[in-house]
């Protein structure tokens, strides 16, 4: 199954680092039926450093039921479903999708709307258990090896999820998509 919107770059970056997407036993918060209006519109995400080359950007159109991602001549569409969920936990919005390799678990991103952009924070875990701050907030268990890596699974509790985000991630370096046009 296709992975989640504009997050393909996060996978590349996390693959190069000691982090990987956390595998959660359920998506955080309460599932929403549609994407809230403050996220809807047209955006772009810079892939590289050449700001004048349109081939160096991904364009994203977010609607009520999903989004389209346009890169060069390729166009992918992602619609909310049982495998791709938009939820709200406390005052935060979260996009979650089923993990590609462990289908019973979820990968999640906290997304925060700003006036001219949307900030995207991946929920990651450090591969070394003694350095994994997520395990201070959510209980976890060892899930074995997947041939490449050891896997830990986390029990999603909304209060622990919020505390982890606020104390360990929020305000750190993030990914951002820039708003071109609001959708009315």
Give the gyration radius of the chain's Cα atoms. Answer: 16
Is 3 contained in some domain? Answer: no
Report the number of distinct structural domains present in the chain: 1
Residue 157 lies in a domain: yes
Residue 51 CB contacts under 8 Å (≥ 6 apart), including other chains? none
Q: Which of 162, 134, 166 is nearest to 22 (CA)?
A: 134
pLDDT averaged over the chain?
Answer: 81
The pLDDT of residue 149: 55
What pLDDT is attached to residue 184?
A: 57
pLDDT at 16: 35
| pTM of structure | 0.81
Would you call 167 helix, strand, or coil by DSSP? helix
pLDDT, residue 56, reads 66
pLDDT at position 26: 95
CA 99 from centroid of its chain's CA atoms: 11
Domain that holds residue 81: 8-182
Q: How far apart are CA 153 and CA 137, in angstroms?
A: 13
Please report the pLDDT score of residue 3 as a whole number: 47
For residue 104, the model assigns a pLDDT of 86
> Residue 129: its pLDDT value, please?
53
**Which is it for the CA torsion 73, 173, 125, 109, positive or negative?**
negative
Residue at 2 is within a domain: no
Q: Flag whether 60 is in a domain.
A: yes
Which DSSP string do the residues of 30-48 spell out, in sequence order? EE-SS--GGG-EEEEEE-S
Kindly give the confidence (pLDDT) of every residue in the chain, 184 residues in length, as a single tens digit, with 9 standing for 90 and above: 444 444 444 443 343 344 688 899 999 999 999 999 999 999 988 765 555 555 567 889 999 999 999 887 788 999 999 999 999 999 999 999 998 888 889 999 999 999 899 999 999 876 655 567 888 899 988 766 555 555 778 999 999 999 999 998 898 877 889 999 766 5
Neighbour tally for 182: CB within 10 Å: 11
């Amino acid at each position: 199954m296709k992975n989640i919107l504009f997050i393909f770059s996060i996978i590349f970056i996390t693959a190069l680092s000691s982090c990987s997407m956390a595998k959660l036993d359920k998506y955080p918060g309460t599932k929403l039926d549609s994407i809230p209006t403050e996220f809807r519109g047209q955006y772009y995400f810079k892939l590289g450093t050449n700001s004048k080359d349109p081939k160096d950007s991904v364009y994203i159109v977010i609607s009520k039921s999903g989004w389209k991602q346009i890169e060069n001549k390729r166009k992918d569409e992602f619609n909310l479903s049982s495998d791709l969920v938009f939820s709200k936990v406390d005052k935060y919005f979260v996009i979650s999708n089923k993990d590609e390799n462990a289908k019973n678990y979820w990968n999640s991103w906290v997304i925060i709307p700003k006036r001219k952009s949307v900030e995207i924070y991946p929920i990651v875990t450090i591969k070394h258990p003694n350095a994994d701050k997520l395990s201070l907030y959510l209980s976890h268990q060892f899930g074995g090896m997947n041939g490449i890596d050891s896997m830990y699974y986390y029990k999603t509790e909304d209060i622990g999820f919020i505390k982890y985000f606020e104390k360990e991630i929020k305000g750190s370096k993030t990914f951002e998509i820039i708003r071109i046009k609001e959708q009315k």
